[in-house]
Amino acid sequence: MNNLLNCLIVDDEPLARKLLSDYVQKVPYLKLLRTCSGPMEALDFLRDNPVDLLFLDIQMPEITGLTLLKILQKKPWVILTTAYSEYALESYDLDVVDYLLKPITLERFLKAMEKINQRMQGIANQQLPSEEAAAPVAVVESSPAYIFVKDGTKLVKVKISEIMYVEGMKDYVAIHTPQQRIVTLQRLKAMEEQLPENQFIRIHNSYIVALEWLDSIHKEKVKVGNALLPISDSYRKSFKDFIEKNHIKMD
């Protein structure tokens, strides 16, 4: 495989294609060959154009992205992009590289690119002499300093260190910081995946809190800033384990 990965974006939403195109351009080793608005157009393109990486929406007219993936004889690496989490299990059976829930942030996109890097490294190691391939590769993971979230028609940069807690409201989340409250179209589960797991903990179906901003911890509630947030029974044990790991005792 060449140093550059040839990419194809398939999505019936123009804004989604534009966002992914912008993200691809930020990654030096990605080369965007084309964007397609539907699976049939993509099939026609793939017949004559080798593609290394496919960004594929699931819910589209004509056939779904998963159906397209199943009928491809020569499959590239695939990153699924969708607003629906219920397809995740089926996607893993198809050996996709990653599964991105819309709206896709740049931080989450770059995490997917790290998975691509790991696969590229695996191929490179296979091509090295056995002694070189056996040499350990040090991987240092660092937590992101910020995330981008959509607020209306604009993307807002939010520092991880300033997030006090995140509140889930069906298809939206509210990010609470000392300065502001940002409401964005996103599921709480998707937000949870973007936050460093050593700094944030889910305490309720509707709340994720930052360890740094916890003012006091009680048996059934935590105080974060001026807010008293409930700890639900289903998250009590994981929360207790989390704070004990960080050398904090519950009342």
pLDDT tens digits, 114-153: 888 888 776 656 555 555 444 444 444 445 677 877 777 7
How far apart (Å, rounded) are the C-alpha atoms in residues 74 and 100? 22
Q: Token match 């989390």: residue?
A: 242
| Residues 107 and 147 sit within 8 Å (Cβ to Cβ) | yes
Peptide bond into 129 cis (omega under 30): no
Q: In the structure encoding, which two tokens stand for residue 110, read together?
A: 């770059």
Domain formed by 146-245, architecture: Beta Barrel (2.40)
The pairing of strands 30-36 and 5-10 is parallel
| Ranges of residues in the chain whose predicted pLDDT is under 70 | 1-3, 85-94, 122-144, 247-251
pLDDT of 137 = 43
Q: What is the pLDDT of residues 40-61, one digit of tens each?
A: 999 999 989 999 999 999 888 8
How is the chain split into domains, by residue range?
Answer: 5-131, 146-245
pTM more than 0.85: no
How many residues are given for the chain? 251
Residue 42 · residue 71 · CB < 8 Å: no
Residue 7: closest CA among 41, 38, 40, 45: 45
Per-residue pLDDT at 146:
79
pLDDT value of residue 84 = 73
Residue 106, pLDDT score: 92
Are domains 5-131 and 146-245 of this chain identical in fold?
Answer: no
| The CATH number of the domain covering residues in 5-131 | 3.40.50.2300
